Structure formats: C-alpha cells, structure tokens
Amino acid sequence: MRILIVGATGTIGRAVVGELGGRHELVTAGRSSGDLRLDITDGHSIRSMYERAGAIDAVVCVAGKVKFGPLAQMTAADYEIGLKDKLMGQVNLVLIGQDFLDDGGSFTLTTGVLDHDPIRQGSSASMVNGAVNAFVLAAAIELQRGQRINAVSPGVIAEAMAGYAPFFRGFEPVPAARAALAYARSVEGAQTGQVYRVL
C-alpha cells in the first residue's frame, strides 16, 4: 500500500513509520517536516497536500494540538485551539481526503486515553478526543467506495513521560511501538468505525 502519514516525526508517528515502513510505501507530511507540508487547521493546505501526494491507499493522522490548563482558567479561545487543530484538522483530513483516497482505502485518526479517563487540566483534550471518536463512529456508516475509518486511542506514551508524568500519576505508560500496532491493525485490517484503545 501507499500510506500517507500526517505527523510522522512525532513520538507516535516515528513508531508508526517504523511499524509500517518495512511493508509499505510511506509518504510523510507535517507542518515543518516530511515529504509534504501542510497546516491541518487550513482546508486549502490540506487539499493542496492531497493534490501533491498522488494515489493514496491509507491516511494515518498522528498530529493535533490541544490546550491543557485548569478549568477555572480556560477560555473559549483556549478550547478553540483543540477544536481547530486536533478535531477539525482530522475531520477535514477525512472530508477533503475522501475524494483523493483510493477505493477501499482507510483513514486512521488519533484520540487518546483522556477520551474516557480524564485528568485535571485535561478538559479540552477529553472533549476533543471524545468528539473525534464520535465522528469516526458516524463517518464509518457514510463513507463511500468501500472506504474505512477508525481511531486509535493510546494511553500516555512511555517515551513522553518525562514531560507528562506529573499529569498522569498512576497511569501505566504505553510504549510507542505497542501503540503503533493499533495503527497497523487499522490500516491493514478490515474493520471500520472502531476505536482501538491501547492501554
């Protein structure tokens, strides 16, 4: 397969590249690195990326920003960061990408453990992750031409614990390589409308 990976240089992205790269042709895309450049908050940028990418059998997104902060201090603008980036960025990768993705192709989006196991200062991440999961469930019954869509919801990644440990006390970290297996399952499998939790 020819697989487009958005966010390939991040912690999970590198693991996904390592998992899929030996079996498939990968095209990487990101804001500041990769074979192609894009800003997932900009629909025109997403469309331009797809136009340059050529034929694609699968799209994997492991990119997206959210704002962490105490609920009492969060503003509407703080929530807009996650809504525009991680939520609508991934939604637009699908809305625009369905016209470019080959018949029978797949989309794999990324959410995270906060979709069902919240932490202090993580209300934006919980909200966005839950919304992405719900979008995946609904989009799966409407995608055309045999296209599939799933989400991967990994726990806190072991390689990122140096920065996140204070927020995730008591959580068992997940190695990035183990999370990458769920992306392979989505891309190389047959299911659709699934949220693969890696805990």
Q: What is the CATH number of the domain that holds 184?
A: 3.40.50.720
Please write the tens of the pLDDT for every residue from 21-41. Answer: 999 999 999 999 999 999 999
Tokens representing 140 are 């799966």
- Ranges of the chain with pLDDT below 70: none
User: Which candidate, 154, 68, 165, 160, places its Cα nearest to that of 111?
Assistant: 154
Rounded to two decimals, what is the model's pTM? 0.97
Boundaries of domain holding 56: 2-198
In the sheet that holds 148-154, the strands lie side by side as 36-37, 25-30, 2-6, 56-61, 101-110, 148-154, 194-198
Please write the tens of the pLDDT for every residue from 106-131. Answer: 999 999 999 999 999 999 999 999 99
Domains identified in the chain, total number: 1
